[in-house]
Amino acid sequence: MIYLQNLKKQFGPKMLFDDISFHLRPKERVGLVGENGTGKTTLLRVITNKIGLDSGKVVLRKGAHSALLEQELGIAGGTVLERVVHGDSHFSEVQREMERLENDSDYHKRAPEEWSRRYGHLQHDFERLGGYERESRAKTILLGLAFKPDQLDQPLEKFSGGWRMRAELARLLLQNPEVLLLDEPTNHLDLQSVIWLESFLKNYDGSILLISHDRRFLNALVGRIIELDRGQLTVYTGNYDTYEQLKEERISQLEAQAATQSRRIGQVERFIERFRAKNTKATQVKSKIKMLEKMEKVETFKQTKTIQFRFPQPKRTGRIVAELKDVCKSYGDVTVYRDFSILLERGFKVALVGENGAGKSTFLKLLAGVIDYQEGEIKLGTNVTRAYFAQHQIEILDGSHTVLESLEEDAGHLLRTAKQSILGAFLFSGDDVQKKVSVLSGGERSRLSLARMLASPASLLLLDEPTNHLDMRSCEMLAAALADYQGTLVTISHDRYFLDGIINRVWEVNDGTIKEYVGSYSDYQWAKSRETETTAGTLAESTASEKSSASKKDKNRKRKEAEARNQRYRRLKPLQDRLKKVEQKMESVMREKQTVETQLADSSWYEDNRKSDRVATLDRQKELAQEESALMAEWDQLSEQIEDTQNTPTS
């Protein structure tokens, strides 16, 4: 579907892509991982031609479209539904041109055949883009992403950045591009929306290249992982868990090879040093020196320093940490809680779950004391102090302070080495601690805010989506700190893997009430599945006769559909088999071509090889380039034939 060929991109002294190549296959789901700053987002922007390259090219199959969900949004007007339905410029252009022709009666009378031909082409495009069912599909997607029906006709500009991001995601999903590029798509979603999106993408018909720090999201979707590290792409087959396992094995192998090479280099250097002054050994010494100069050093993985640090623990509280008694909370005419009571006890580590608008954030804010309530009472227990983390709090950091000075606002009592260790644990090391807060990225500000909170933790932590804007390693660091935390915790998070490692109960918020499930998030999912099975069993008994009748009516329809599928399959199978062979051959040719070009770029190779060898290698380079071009043309033709066959109705 997409070929990345010998991409090179450099910003100042930093090499982001150093001659990288990759093939994203049709209908494939691939995860793109790497530490912050390695160039993952830049790669997605290169693919969509938003950023230029120093050299190399991106080849997208002819007629295919790609679309990118970025972390930063531009300004868009109109209502939520209008933005999603008409946000595709090509669709809007087709619709406008159809309306223009429909109203141009003079043109229709003057050249009826030409008018019909043009209108027919436009109508074909309109149908291909889902024009007739476009609005209903848009509503389905928006509701899946937790918009309420009465919000769809409201101006988009009235919504927060997180909700506008959801609308942008809905716009791209409705476009249904052949290649979908997603940069942290779950950052602004609640848990239910993440689960819906995961299910939607599992059935997505195109190719997906995905950046995400959500391990379970990656595990559920991708079949390959590509890691971007120090300008190079490394491909791993499998999901994220498999990638971690394979990477550990690769690290061990490279370290063993590097150790063997280091010993060999040491032996050669000792030989050179010992016999350098002896005339009888001069030829051997020169040979050894030349061998060392030509030796390609085995590069091990750049290991990020792991900080071992135990965060300070809060003072021990009484058994009751917080009590809500007969609390009433309303926003205007909307009542969220009425006569609501609950106890939060010491040691509880709670995940709040529930549909959007159920009252999760309101409950967290009530506990934090950042919003008022109309009736009832909220009491904190003995020795209870509380700290509240929400995304908007990132904005109140003092931009004129350095990272270290910002931490000192909450951790002035700690020694400097302890402060630096805390910052190191949240990936601020060396000169990073002297950076001004004003120049930090969103992810860096999140890490700094969390470091400030955990440097002097309260006995009650209240966290609203703490993993947003964090990379995988930062999420793991935060999860480790919270697992070690001995106080009481209430959190909202869409990251199921993160929740599983820290919580000991789930509170499901629904219609102003809370239902408790004791255990991890996985335990909660198991309990919910049992509840669903019980409900489904009851419904199945009551509708058994209806299903039996419906199945008889559907029998002929299903038989005809099966025949049509078989007929299409017989046409598609040889094309798909040939396409697979072409792709395998193309990847082999690209690898060999890259090896040859690396040889030709090495000046020492011209000194060490005879002219006949050099000529043969140059000839081979030309052959490979021609073969690559021919394979690319065949790949393009086969892809078009497959697409045409899939889109042609079978009679």
Structure confidence at residue 305 (pLDDT): 47
pLDDT in tens, 371-417: 999 999 999 999 999 999 886 666 678 888 999 998 888 877 778 88
117, amino acid identity = R
The stretch 477-505 carries a mean pLDDT of 90
Cα–Cα distances (Å) from 406 to 37, 152, 229, 400, 412, in that order, read 22, 41, 30, 9, 10
State mean pLDDT over 65-78: 75
pLDDT of residue 554 exceeding 70? no
> Is 221's pLDDT higher than 90?
yes
Q: Is the dihedral of CA 145, 148, 149, 152 positive or negative?
A: negative
Average pLDDT over residues 272-299: 78
Q: What's the pLDDT at 74?
A: 62
pTM of the predicted structure, to 2 decimals:
0.68
Mean pLDDT of the chain: 83
Question: What is the reported pLDDT for 615?
Answer: 79
Is the pLDDT score of 367 beyond 70? yes
Q: For residue 21, what are the CA distances in angstroms to 67, 183, 643?
A: 20, 20, 25
Residue with tokens 């908007």: 392
222 contacts 30 by C-beta, under 8 angstroms:
yes
Query: What is the side-by-side strand order in the sheet with 29-33?
Result: 66-69, 179-183, 207-211, 29-33, 224-229, 232-237
pLDDT, average across residues 423-436: 84
CB 455 within 8 A of CB 411: yes
Residue 179: pLDDT over 80: yes
Q: In the predicted model, what is the mean pLDDT of residues 59-77? A: 76
Query: What per-residue confidence (pLDDT) applies to 395?
Result: 65
Residue 237 sits at φ, ψ, to 5 deg, of -85, 130
CA distance 78 to 157: 8
Catalogue the E-assigned strands of 155-215: 179-183, 207-211
Q: What are phi and psi of 460, to 5 degrees?
A: -130, 115
Q: What element of type H or E holds 376?
A: strand 375-380
Q: Which residues contact 140 (CB under 8 A, 6 or more apart)?
A: none
Q: For 34-116, where are the E strands, in sequence order? A: 55-60, 66-69
Residue 78: band (very low, low, confident or very high) from pLDDT cuts 50, 70, 90: confident
Scanning 14-87, the segments in alpha helix (DSSP H) are 40-47, 80-86
Residue 555 has pLDDT above 70, yes or no: no
Lowest mean pLDDT among 244-253, 542-551, 627-636: 542-551
Mean pLDDT of 113-122: 83
Burial of 184 (0-12, 13-18, 19+ CB in 10 A): buried
pLDDT in tens, 195-217: 888 988 998 888 999 999 888 99
Q: Indicate the pLDDT class of residue 438, thresholds 50, 70 and 90.
A: confident
Instruction: Decide: helix, strand or coil at residue 112.
Output: helix
